[in-house]
Amino acid sequence: MAEAATFQGLSWNPLTDLEQLFAYPFMVHALAAGTIVAVMGGVTGWFMVLRRQTFAGHTLSIIAFPGAAAASLAGLPLAVGYFGFCGLGALTLAGVAGTRKSLSAESAAIGSLQAFALALGFIFVSLYHGVLNSLDSLLFGTFLGITRGQVVVLLAVAAASVALVVGAARPLLFSSVDPDVARAAGVPVRLLGFGFLLVLGLSVAETSQITGALLVFALLVTPAATAHRITSRLGFGMALSVAIALAVTWLGLALAYFSVYPVGFYVTSLSFAVYLLVRFAQA
Amino acid sequence: MSETAVRFERAAVRLGGQTVWSDVSLTVAPAEFVAVLGPNGAGKSTLIKAILGLLPLSAGTASVLGRRPGEANARIGYLPQRRTFDAGTRIRGLDLVQLGLDGARWGVPIPVGRDRKRTVTRVREAIELVGASAYARRPIGELSGGEQQRLLIAQALVRRPKLLLLDEPLDSLDLPNQAAVAALVQRICQEEQVAVLLVAHDVNPILSYLDGVIYFAGGRAAEGSPEQVITTETLSRLYGAPIEVLQASDGRLVVVGQPEAPFVHGDRHG
């Protein structure tokens, strides 16, 4: 038993390696957190790609960075910063997007918000004076030091968000692809758009904690975009999006465990590889 | 079965402080196929929105399927203006039609048992009715304008409405497709006993299928058969300016002298 708990590096024996992956509590927590985040990212990402809101999603992920930096500065748990800033960001975006006067004005407004968020993040990092050696992990992700409490919070937020999205799946789908008719059929299109941005903000906040703020897209966009390329069936497409997100997360965490490079790099590269593979297979 | 589909009495609509039209009285009978005509900005789409209760009347009264506007929307099939799906829309036509049936329903979208069977059957019927079975399982963004329009009509029909509101459904189609869709709408109108209001730019491709027309111009409307309404006298009175309606040897109507952009002419796409 004592032997199993010492880190031995990659043995190339799948059973031993698998055993090693689960030998430390921190790794078990990381795998649990990764699984939660992948399921949530797969579901909300699928809708985000369908609704063409990747730019809004990207902006929310940038907003996660000052959130985390502000939390470090204030000595609060990072999750508070992630959820707080992404939630506020989603509300702001909903205010901008709610008017829907023109698409170009909307994306310009979202872009301005994004630039401001990035600047805010760097000012917080500068204010932190001491070396914020977690800057790398804020931007590019970490799987170290995820606690049981964090996993519970991730699970609660993800469960609530996924339940909301699944429960509102049909009206949300209707208002995403066909807003005018949906409105005439009595679907609260604006409210759904607002609610979805909020769920997207929560997704980004969750995903940021594993992949880092800059690489959220690895779990939010790429698996969903790949699934949309493979199939136009609804349930199957969403399941595929979740499956790809899960596969790249698990594999990415395992690779990061046996190497010195950050988990965000692996998750991003793997999901990009899947995307490229599908593209070339279809060409 | 005989409640009037739409009745407006001396109705008026104001938008942004401006009267769009006023003193409009019209009646659409059950299973009647009526085209809504007029120049751009004359208030054709405004009529559709007033029927749906999305815009309030500023004067007069209206009843839609025996109820006030907005109260009968569950029995209205609505197809808004200029709706095309670009190649990036990765949704099957089938799913889009089904959204017309259950898209407003909340809850976990996994239908089971009889409910599921009923949904699947009704969606298939609606798709067969518009002749779209061959391509309903392909992503809607990959279909042609005519194919998309048929599926959208199926979506509007899937709840078995008593009134169908089609806002410029022929706009993006070539002439043969315009006539084909008009023929389809006429057949549905008779087979399903549904009244149809179809907003159109160009009356000629659909003229032979119509029961009546409602013509908007100059803040007023005239209603009747095409022969009654599209005449030199009626249109001159509506526009308050001299208008001439000419009939070509092939039966097409040409309206000459209207103050705004031309709208009724047969060779726009030719």
Give me Rg for the CA atoms of chain A.
19
CA dist A151 and A254 (Å) reads 18
How far B252 CA sits from the closest chain A CA (Å)?
A: 34
Render each residue's pLDDT in chain B as its tens digit; 270 residues: 468 999 999 999 999 889 999 999 999 999 999 999 988 889 999 999 999 998 999 999 999 999 999 888 889 999 988 667 888 788 999 999 999 999 888 888 776 777 888 889 999 999 998 889 999 999 998 998 889 989 999 999 998 999 999 999 888 788 888 888 899 999 999 998 999 999 998 888 888 899 999 999 989 999 999 888 988 888 888 888 888 888 888 878 888 876 654 444 444 343
Average pLDDT over residues A156-162: 95
Domain span at residue A148 reads: 14-282
Question: What integer best gives the mean pLDDT of chain A?
Answer: 86
Q: Is residue A3 part of a domain?
A: no
* Among candidates B78, B106, B109 on the partner chain, residue whose Cβ is nearest the Cβ of A181: B78
Average pLDDT over residues A113-131: 83
pTM for the predicted model, two decimal places? 0.85
Looking at the structure of chain A, the number of domains it has is 1
* Among candidates B54, B80, B89 on the partner chain, residue whose Cβ is nearest the Cβ of A181: B80
Q: What pLDDT band is residue A146 in, cutting at 50, 70 and 90?
A: confident
pLDDT score recorded for residue A96: 76
Contact between chains at B96 and A177 (C-beta distance less than 8 A): yes
Number of DSSP helices (H) and strands (E) in chain B, helices first: 7, 11
Q: Is residue A5 part of a domain?
A: no
Q: Is residue A83 part of a domain?
A: yes
What number is the ipTM of this complex? 0.81
Q: Are strands B195-199 and B33-37 parallel, antiparallel or unpaired?
A: parallel
State in Å, rounded, how far the first CA of chain B is from the last one: 42
User: For an interface test with A, which of B90, B119, B158, B164 has the most A Cβ atoms less than 10 Å from its Cβ?
Assistant: B90
What Å distances lie between residue A150 and A31, A205, A263, B17, CA to CA?
12, 12, 18, 56
pLDDT score recorded for residue A8: 63
Q: Is residue A238 part of a domain?
A: yes
Residue A102 predicted with pLDDT over 80: no
Task: Identify the CA nearest to B208 among candidates B233, B178, B236.
Answer: B178
Phi, psi of B149 (to 5 degrees): -65, -40
Q: Is residue A33 part of a domain?
A: yes
Residue A143 predicted with pLDDT over 90: no
- Helix, strand, or coil (residue A59): helix
Question: What CATH number does the domain containing A94 carry?
Answer: 1.10.3470.10
Contact between chains at A237 and B90 (C-beta distance less than 8 A): yes
pLDDT score recorded for residue A229: 92
A-chain CB neighbours of B108 within 8 Å are 166-167, 169
Q: Is residue A137 part of a domain?
A: yes
Q: Is residue A8 part of a domain?
A: no
pLDDT score recorded for residue B238: 86
pLDDT score recorded for residue A3: 44
Whether A88 and chain B come into contact, CB under 8 Å, resolves to: no
Q: B30 in the Ramachandran plot: left (φ > 0), alpha (ψ -120 to 50) or beta?
A: beta
Whether A234 and chain B come into contact, CB under 8 Å, resolves to: yes
Both tokens of B149, joined, read 């329009």
Q: Is residue A278 part of a domain?
A: yes
